[in-house]
Amino acid sequence: MEISNKEFLLIADLLDLAENEFCNHGCNDYDLPDDWTTEDKEKLRKDAIKLGIIDKKDSEEGDIVNGDNLLMMVYSSKLQKIFGNK
């Protein structure tokens, strides 16, 4: 089974929709999977900076991006960048 580019863009739009709702819930930290290494978490932080989701001056190496709405924003943005919408 495959997922088409259109389906990936739909997933990105749904993540945007969910993020808009989740951001109103206050502080909802998401527990990243246990197999995520320090390097995985740092890459996520750097991706969030590169995508303009968090400001570099407000984030230091070792900070963990784990707010549920921030994670949705990161992955929605990445999908949209990769599959050509925005």
Interatomic CA distance for residues 30 and 45, integer angstroms? 14
Give me the percent of the chain exceeding a pLDDT of 70: 98
pLDDT in tens, 25-76: 777 888 999 999 999 999 999 999 999 999 999 999 999 999 888 999 999 9
Residue 24 has pLDDT above 90, yes or no: no
Kindly report whether the global pTM for this prediction surpasses the value 0.75. Answer: yes
Integer angstrom CA distances of residue 81 from 11, 17, 44, 52, 68: 13, 17, 15, 13, 20
